[in-house]
Amino acid sequence: MPRMLDVSEDVRAEIGDAEADRLLVGDSAPGSYDCTSCRTPGDSDQERTSTVLFVGDETAVLAFAHATCIPSQVVNVAEDQLKGAMRSITGDESQTPEGLMPEQAVLGITSGLVLIEDDLRPALVVEPTGPIARPGTDGRGGDQFLQLLLEQGFQPTQDLNRLPGVLPGWSVLLAAGRLHAVLQPGPGGGQVAWWQAHQPLQVTEGWRTAANKSQSVLVFAAPVGSIGQQPREDLLRDALDKAAANAVLVAATMPLAGT
């Protein structure tokens, strides 16, 4: 079913025909989103929706807006708001359209502050909504989520009181105080999205302040069923400690991109 999505010629030129067509047939359309203009919810199944591409000097982020708020367009923004992000969208030869919005249906992300080494650290907790199969397999190998992350350089975490190591080439993209993406090294240099928000995720003022101060974010990950949705940060910490004790928690420190 074609979605009610507008992709302007400018946006199409930036993201490429393949990705634009994927958006238009609904493969990677957002469904519900927060309008990038008026900040209220929208739904690309229910109302005309504009694709809006924010472009820095060499990076870009795709967002969505009510067509009644703004037309589909390319918006140039200060590079320091998008620093380090998604070089691949803007014409790098190694562009992988599927890298633009991978797996957002299966990776859940929670933000919270976690006390480590006497400081409250900004953290993201990633938990899939189901088992993750190794790409290209039929899934009969069981849940490979932890193994895949270990191969990417995440470290097993037995003790939450020690800071995880920095994972080279990965970063966490914040723009205008909202979480947009977790970026990983692209196949031909630059970065592609490992996780990208359908709708940019609101973080607390405290989280944003801590992230801007440390210029880094701790990313914890655990397989489906290990953490769950925790309504309070002390409960999130308890769940992380439990996952660590059960040896199903991996972690990495990632630099912050954006503000």
Interface residues with Zn ion (CB under 5 A) are 35, 37-38, 66, 69
DSSP label of 187: B
Q: Is 76 exposed, middle or buried (0-12, 13-18, 19+ CB in 10 A)?
A: exposed
23 and 51 Cβ atoms separated by less than 8 Å: yes
> Which of 125, 60, 103 lies closest to 195 in space, CA to CA?
103
Q: Which is nearer to Zn ion, 17 or 47 (CB)?
A: 47
Residue nearest to Zn ion (CB): 35
Q: Which is nearer to Zn ion, 35 or 203 (CB)?
A: 35
Minimum CB distance to Zn ion, residue 44 (Å): 12
CA distance 149 to 170: 12
DSSP label of 145: H
Q: Which is nearer to Zn ion, 37 or 104 (CB)?
A: 37
Minimum CB distance to Zn ion, residue 11 (Å): 17
Q: Which is nearer to Zn ion, 8 or 96 (CB)?
A: 8
Q: Which is nearer to Zn ion, 66 or 180 (CB)?
A: 66
Minimum CB distance to Zn ion, residue 62 (Å): 16
Spatial CB neighbours of 254, under 8 Å, sequence gap ≥ 6? 166, 167, 170, 171, 172, 182, 216, 217, 218, 219
Minimum CB distance to Zn ion, residue 67 (Å): 9
Minimum CB distance to Zn ion, residue 66 (Å): 3
Q: Which is nearer to Zn ion, 22 or 66 (CB)?
A: 66
CA distance 119 to 142: 37
